Amino acid sequence: MGSGVGGKDRAGSPALALFNTMGRKKEPFVPLEPGRAGMYTCGPTVYNYAHIGNLRTYIFEDILRRTLEYNGFKVTHVMNITDVGHLTSDADTGEDKMEEGARREGKSIWEIAAFYTEAFRRDIARLNILPPTIWCEATKHIPEQIELVRRLEEKGYAYLLPDGVYFDTSKFPDYGKLAMLDIEGLMAGARVRPAEGKRSPTDFALWKLTPPGVKRQMEWDSPWGRGFPGWHIECSAMAMKYLGETFDIHAGGVDHINVHHTNEIAQAECATGKRFVRYWLHGEFLVMEKDKMSKSAGNFITLQTLVDRGFDPLDYRYLCLTAHYRSQLVFRRESLDAARSARRSLLERIHAHGAGAGAAGGSAGVAKACERYAARFLEAINDDLNVPAALAVAWELARDSSVPAGGKKRVLLDFDRVFGLRLDAPLPADPNGEIPDEVKALAARREEARKAKNWKEADALREALGKIGYRVEDTPDGPRIFRV
Ligand SMILES: [Zn+2]
C-alpha cells in the first residue's frame, strides 16, 4: 500500500519524522537524494552469541529500514561485523574481545569470528530481520582504516604514544556534541582517568601497536608499525566507503552514544571537514528482570535459549514491537508468554479470514474503512516509528466486524511489511509452542478413554494433565492442548 514513490507522501498523510539524537528532537526525514536512503548500523562483535538485548537493537533498526521502504524509499543498508579491535574496556585498555573469545574456546580468532558471524546471521534470519544490503567485516577493510588514520595524522588530529596512535579530541571543537558531553567536567578527571600519556581523558586509539616481543593472531603492518585498528575507526571508514562522506542515517544502541558514535563523528568530520551523518537514531535497552529464566541462563539469554523454552523467535519480535524503541523494555517470562498468545491470535484471525473469504474488500464503504485504517497505521509508524500504536491499529482492524475478511487480510498483510511478523505463515502446529511428549501421550490416552466412553478414566487423565500445567479442549478439529 505504501505511500507512493520517492518518499513523497499521499496527500494528507504525514511525512516520516524521526527523533534525531543530534539535537534531541523529532525532525522530518529529508534524504540527501530524493527517494533514496543510506543507512549504517553498528553490527555485532563476533566473539560470542548475541544476547536478546543486542537483538532488540537489530529489531528496532529493521523496523526503521522497513518503515523507510514502506514510505517508498530505496534503502542501502550497511552493517559491519567487528572481528578485530574491540577491547573489553571502552578506555582503550583490556584485552581484544576476539582474543578473549578464542582463548575461552581454545580456537583460533578466525574460527571464532566465522562461527559467531554465522550464528548472528542465523539469529537475525530467524527474527525475520532483513539482511543488510552490504555486510562488511573490519578485517577486510584494514587499508581503508589505515588510510583514514593517515588523513587524520596529516591534518594534525593524531599523535603517537608508545602503544599506539591516538586521536586528539581537544582539536575538534564539536567533540561530544552528540552525547552532550560535559568535556570540562571530564577534563577535571572526575569520571575518567586518562590512560598513560593521553593528552585528554576523551582521546582514543586510532591504531594500537603490538607490544614488542608479542605475536598477536590478528595484526597488520601500518606506517606506525605492526598492530591493529582501534574499534571506532572501522565504522567511520566503512560507512564512508559504502555510503559517502555524508550520509542519511546512522543507528545503534543508546550505549554507543557517549563513546563509540561520538568518536566516529570526530574521526570522520575531522578527516573530511564535512558533516558525517544527518540523522542519528538510538534504541533503548532491554532490561532483564531477575526471574527464573534469566537465572537459569546465567542472565545471558540468547535467541536459542528462548527457542529451547518452546518460543518462536517471532514471539520475541512481537514482544519488542509492543514497546517504543526509545523506551526501555523489561524482559519478563509473562510478557513473552503474552506476546506469543497475541501473535498466535493475530495469525489465527488472518487464517480465519483466509478461509472462504473473497479477496476483494467489497463495497465502497468497506474500501473507505480500510483506507482509514491504513492512514492511521501510516501516521503511527511515521511518527518516529510508533509501532505500539501501529499494532493497536492492526488489532482494532482485526476485531472490526464491519470489515469483511478478505479486506482485513489484505490490509493486515500490508502492515506486516513493517511488522515483519510473518503473518502470512501457516499456523504453528501447537498453540503453545512445544508440547512435551509425555503430555501428548496423556492427552492421547484421554482421547482413547473418551472414545471408549470411559468417562471416569478420561476425567482422571484430564485432572492429571491439569496437575502438570496443561488443559485439553475438545474442538471440532479434535482435542487441542494448551499450557495453563
Ligand atoms: Zn559502529
Q: What burial class does residue 61 get, using C-beta atoms within 10 Å of its C-beta: 0-12 exposed, 13-18 middle, 19+ buried?
A: buried
How distant, in Å, are the alpha carbons of 25, 54, 427 from that of 284?
A: 16, 10, 32
CATH of 312-419, one of 1.20.120.640, 1.20.1250.20, 3.50.40.10, 3.40.50.2000: 1.20.120.640
Count Cβ atoms below 10 Å from residue 459 Cβ, excluding itself: 13
Gap from CA of 180 to ligand 1 centroid (Å): 19
- Predicted pLDDT at 370: 95
Gap from CA of 290 to ligand 1 centroid (Å): 30
Selection from 463, 416, 412 nearest residue 442 by Cα: 463
Q: What burial class does residue 79 get, using C-beta atoms within 10 Å of its C-beta: 0-12 exposed, 13-18 middle, 19+ buried?
A: buried
CA angle 385, 80, 203 (to 5 degrees): 95
Domain boundaries, the chain: 17-283, 312-419, 437-483
Asked whether 471 and 484 are in contact (CB, 8 A), the reply is yes
Selection from 207, 179, 174, 206 nearest residue 192 by Cα: 179
Gap from CA of 236 to ligand 1 centroid (Å): 8
Gap from CA of 241 to ligand 1 centroid (Å): 14
Identity of residue 48: N
Gap from CA of 50 to ligand 1 centroid (Å): 16
Gap from CA of 334 to ligand 1 centroid (Å): 33
pLDDT per residue of the chain (484 residues) written in tens, 0 to 9 = 444 444 444 444 579 999 999 999 999 999 999 999 999 999 999 989 999 999 999 999 999 999 999 999 999 999 999 988 677 666 666 777 888 888 888 888 889 999 999 999 999 999 999 999 999 999 999 999 999 999 999 999 999 999 999 999 999 999 999 988 766 655 554 444 556 789 998 999 999 999 999 888 889 999 999 999 998 999 999 999 999 999 999 999 999 999 999 999 999 999 999 999 999 999 999 998 876 666 666 678 999 999 988 899 999 999 999 999 999 999 999 999 999 999 999 998 888 865 544 444 458 889 999 999 999 999 999 999 999 999 999 999 999 999 998 899 999 999 999 999 999 988 766 555 567 888 888 888 998 998 898 989 998 998 888 888 787 777 656 777 877 6
Q: Which fold has domain 17-283?
A: Rossmann fold (3.40.50)
Chain-centroid distance of CA 101 in Å reads: 23
Gap from CA of 132 to ligand 1 centroid (Å): 15
Gap from CA of 184 to ligand 1 centroid (Å): 26
Gap from CA of 233 to ligand 1 centroid (Å): 8
Asked whether 62 and 418 are in contact (CB, 8 A), the reply is no
- Predicted pLDDT at 296: 64
d(CA 480, CA 431): 8
